[in-house]
Amino acid sequence: MKLFANLIRDLDSTNKTTAKVAALVDYFNKAPDADKVWAIAILSHRRPPRPVNTTIVRSWAAESANIPLWLFEESYHIVGDLAETIALVVPSSQNSCDKSLSHFIKEIIELKSLDDKEKKTYLVKNWKALAYYESFVFNKLITGSLRIGISQKLMTRSLSISTGLEEDVLAYRLMGNWDPGTTTFHNLIIEQRKSDYVSKPYPFYLAYGLEGKIDELGNVTDWNIEHKWDGIRAQIIVRNQEVFIWSRGEELVTDKYPEFHGMPGNIPDGTVLDGEILAFPNGVIGSFNDLQTRIGRKNISKNLLKKSPVILKVYDLLEWEGIDIRNLSLLKRREQLELLLKNPNVGKLPLYLSENKLLNSWEEVAKERSKSREHRSEGLMLKRKDSPYRVGRKKGDWWKWKVDPLSIDAVLTYAMRGHGRRTNLFTDYTFALWDKDRSELVTFAKAYSGLTDAEFRKVDSWIKKNTLERFGPVRSVTPKLVFEIAFEGVALSKRHKSGIATRFPRILKWRQDKKIEEANSLEDLKMMIPFLDSV
Amino acid sequence: METPLLIFNENGIYCKEANVYLDPWHPVDRAIITHGHADHSRWGNKEYITHTTNVPIIKHRLGEIVVHGKEYNEKFVVNNVTFSLHPAGHIIGSSQVRVEHKGEVWVFTGDYKIENDGVATPYEPVKCHTFITECTFGIPPFKWVPQEQVFKNINQWWANNREEGKTSVLFGYSLGKAQRLLKYLDTSIGKIYTHGAIENMTEVLRPQVLFPPTTLITRDTKKKELIGNIVLAPPSAHGSTWIRKMVPFVTASASGWMAFRGARRRRAIDKGFVLSDHCDWEGLLKAIESTGAEKIIATHGYTEIFSRYLRDQGYDARTEQTQFEGEMNELNTEPEEKPAP
Ligand SMILES: [Zn+2]
Ligand SMILES: [Zn+2]
């Protein structure tokens, strides 16, 4: 338990990825194989079931700490975490425990079938035998609340360093529903499989923001002009009758998007598509806000699939008939892609071509760009027709030409302390707009960037002098300051109090020239929503 | 019924019989001061009485004041009321105040801890009938480990940071905590640098306690010379521009609040060491027991929970509102800030 508790402590005490990876590598180098499998499972949210009900655990903890239950509950209320409270109040051991993680897990799983008396004996014995932090981790396991997750990316990078295997191979091996109770480390990680190469993606080619003037790009007909879709950049691979979906963070997200699971059979093996996953409610492209309901979900219910379906806007073909065609020109690749998408078998799939806009002058291009919001796009992508598909971020062949952000004047209503070097200043702000009859301010967005350090200091000291109420770390302030808030997009949203969600809100300017009466209203914001009637 | 020996009024803890206040929060004629922290020794009293070792501290903080120093256990009588100061073990010069009148004895602890930290004169229990105790950390989750262990961890942390080519920045209250840390830093690891607030306060205390040498960080201090060394800074320096000089640095805070994972995270501190100049839960209970008191009045901290527990245990316990802030300042780094009315 000592080794695993140390790992959790290290992961919990840093937000630097390098330190997290170092801690994981160290753990993978030292821990026994059976423990590694469980550690991977727990850190990727494959927790063992909770064996005891927490109400009764609280009473046992109070008894072991020799304090009345009400005092335990008050303490829990103040500490805010049950596992931590138990570890703090029940006297723990000075010595650490060498019993392995997998041994504990086995006991914890068996615990479920024991009666309360036996459960109590087991818990009390361990509270007293474990050192403080081990006891904390043990409590997290028995209350099923160990939520220190590690992204797939960090997990595979650490395993790669520790085992010498490639990251994308590891990502594939960690996918799906394996059971940590019956899988060995060798089976899961080490064993070579013919299928490993099958899932291998290509590195994404990434565009730069347009620099200089648009007409400096030369002849407009040399360029493929598409809208820049605001979704999740993804590569979909069909090989060996299987489909694999990789997101731009090179995370394997196949399980999250069952819409594409019908591709094998309808799309020939040896096909790799590059495109953008977009929300597609009611048969039209949705906002990023719509997509948000899908991104975090691991379990995709039928209902969610119906309410928030997704599509892929396809813009490139990287592999065809098993051959890497990235060195062909974009023109050639797109020809093949269009042919593929016209196939009637493919027509049933949620795959849509990202159209090349046939435009004759840069003026027409600029005009198209100004219509981006109506198309639910962020602007335009300009791709040189004779360019190969490059690796990573390279200048020259692909440019993104985003639309200017939208902006609105809003009133500062709440403030919270910042993070990192700004923890001392109130730099996380909540902004409000007037309601319909301009009688009340309604919260609409949070923003914490866009001011200079000097401005933040000034606003910070104003906040401290104009605090109305404190709610934990948050303060409400006298509505007085007006800021111009910029954002990339706007959509209706049931999850927001205002009924409207903005994308990437940030402070554009402190409008010291404006009074709160001059701030905008929610109605003004609603006017900025594209094709409101279709939602 | 007679007026109690000590009452809590709008100015502070008041002894009517002697017309004396203990740690008043508004200016009064005569104040007995337990120790030099800002919430216990405020500006504006006509006359201050405090322990001799606290005299230079409050003079440093409050400037020109009329102050009389007393020794521990030295009795002084004001209008038939006998007062004496007794070691509180909180910080250098900290006292409990014993008040006796017609055979009735009250003790006000100010802030205190029962662990001997080797810097402050160790706490001594004082027998009394009524005990006015702080309870900043008066709930069971607070349980201190012996300071030797904490200092071992702190020095180990410093040595590791040095190995990684980083500067260690350790936050602690500039009066008390900073000197306690300073006393036990292992100078074989590297040099100790200080923030101005800590350097000045330590200078005041050097005639009374032997401390390792320190170097004040000034405008001329080079980034390079700091690397691998340790910097002692008040909590308010966290997130300031001043700290940028220490890049690349690792931060740690030494405070009782660091017992909670959430506290360290909220403050965005890399490491927390649990080290307090107040009693932990067990310490408070032990202290109360050794006074033999039947009546307990809990001030600043988790007063309601603490006094309810004491009543469960058969004590006549209640709480009183004060304007003492306990160790709260270490979490809430804004100095003397008041919300708008
Ligand atoms: Zn104090
Ligand atoms: Zn205090």
Task: Report, as an integer, the average pLDDT of A40-49.
Answer: 82
Nearest alpha carbon to residue B231 among B169, B175, B157, B151: B169
Q: So what's the pLDDT on residue A71?
A: 96
Q: Count of alpha carbons within 13 Å of A464, Cβ hemisphere only?
A: 17
Query: Nearest-CA distance from A89 to chain B in Å?
Result: 5
Cα–Cα distances in Å, from B20 out to B8, B14, B63? 12, 6, 22
The reply to whether domains B7-142+277-319 and B147-273 share a CATH topology is no
In this predicted model, what pLDDT tens digit does every residue of B220-231 receive, in sequence order? 999 899 999 999
Residues of chain B in contact with residue A425, where contact means CB-CB under 8 angstroms, are 239
- In the predicted model, what is the mean pLDDT of chain B? 91
Task: Mark yes or no for CB contact B309/A68 under 8 Å.
Answer: yes
Query: Does A410 have pLDDT greater than 90?
Result: yes
- Gap from A135 CA to chain B (nearest CA, Å): 14
User: Taking residues B64-93, what's their average pLDDT?
Assistant: 97
Mean pLDDT (chain A) is: 89
Please give the average per-residue pLDDT across A325-339, as a whole number: 96
d(CA A315, CA A275): 5
Domains of chain A: 2-143 (1.10.3260.10), 205-402 (3.30.470.30), 406-526 (2.40.50.140)
Nearest to B140 among A71, A80, A81 (CB): A71
The H or E element spanning position B135 is strand B130-135
* Cα–ligand 1 centroid distance for A11 (angstroms): 34
| B236 touching A (Cβ < 8 Å) | yes
**For testing contact with chain A, the best of B135, B137, B139 (most A CBs within 10 A):** B139
How close is the Cα of A285 to the center of ligand 1, in Å?
Answer: 62
Instruction: Note whether A65 contacts B140, CB cutoff 8 Å.
Output: yes
Alpha carbon distance A147, A137 (integer Å) = 11
Q: Is the pLDDT confidence value at A534 over 60?
A: no
Ligand nearest the Cα of residue B136 is: 2
Q: Cβ contact (<8 Å) for A14 and B270?
A: yes
Nearest CA in chain A to B144: A88
- Report the percentage of chain B scoring pLDDT > 70: 94
Of A21-25, A498-502, B56-60, B330-334, minimum mean pLDDT range: B330-334
Contact A401, A214 (CB under 8 A): yes
Closest-CA distance, A77 to chain B, in angstroms, reads 11
**Which residue from A minimizes the CA distance to B250?**
A14
Please confirm whether the linkage preceding A388 is cis (ω < 30° from 0).
no
Percent of chain A whose predicted confidence (pLDDT) is above 90: 54
User: Which parts of chain B fold into alpha helices (H)?
Assistant: 55-62, 147-163, 177-184, 196-205, 223-226, 261-266, 281-291, 303-312, 328-331
Q: What is the mean pLDDT of residues A89-110?
A: 92
Q: pLDDT at position A437, please?
A: 87
Tens digit of pLDDT for each residue in B30-66?
Answer: 999 999 999 999 999 999 999 999 999 999 999 999 9
d(CA B328, CA B78): 34
From CA B21, how far away is CA B79, in angstroms rounded? 13
**pLDDT score for B2:** 73
Looking at residues B141-166, what average pLDDT do you find?
96
- Closest approach of A7 to chain B, Cα-based (Å): 15
Contacts of B236 in chain A (CB under 8 A): 424
Which positions in chain A touch B139 (Cβ < 8 Å)? 71, 74-75, 78
CATH topology (fold) of B147-273? Rossmann fold (3.40.50)
**Measured between beta carbons, which residues in chain B are less than 8 angstroms from residue A74?**
139, 305
Instruction: Report yes or no for ipTM above 0.95.
Output: no
Which amino acid is present at A232? I
Helix (H) or strand (E) holding A108: helix A101-111
pTM of the model: 0.71
**Tell me, what's the pLDDT at A472?**
65
**Which residues are CB-neighbours of A266 under 8 A, at least 6 positions away?**
A345, A346, A348, A349
| B340 lies within 8 A of chain A by CB | yes
The residues placing their C-beta within 5 Å of ligand 1, an ion, are B 37, 111
Per-residue pLDDT tens digits for B216-273: 999 899 989 999 999 999 988 887 788 888 889 999 999 998 998 877 776 678 899 9
Per-range mean pLDDT, top range of A88-97, A491-500, B266-275, B287-296:
B287-296
Q: State the smallest CA–CA distance between residue A11 and chain B in angstroms.
A: 12
- Per residue in A272-296, pLDDT tens? 999 999 999 988 898 887 888 888 7
pLDDT per position as a tens digit, B179-191: 999 999 999 999 9
Predicted confidence (pLDDT) per residue in A227-280, tens digit: 999 899 999 999 999 999 998 866 888 989 999 999 999 999 999 999 999 999
CATH topology of domain B7-142+277-319: Metallo-beta-lactamase; Chain A (3.60.15)
Domain boundaries, chain B: 7-142+277-319, 147-273
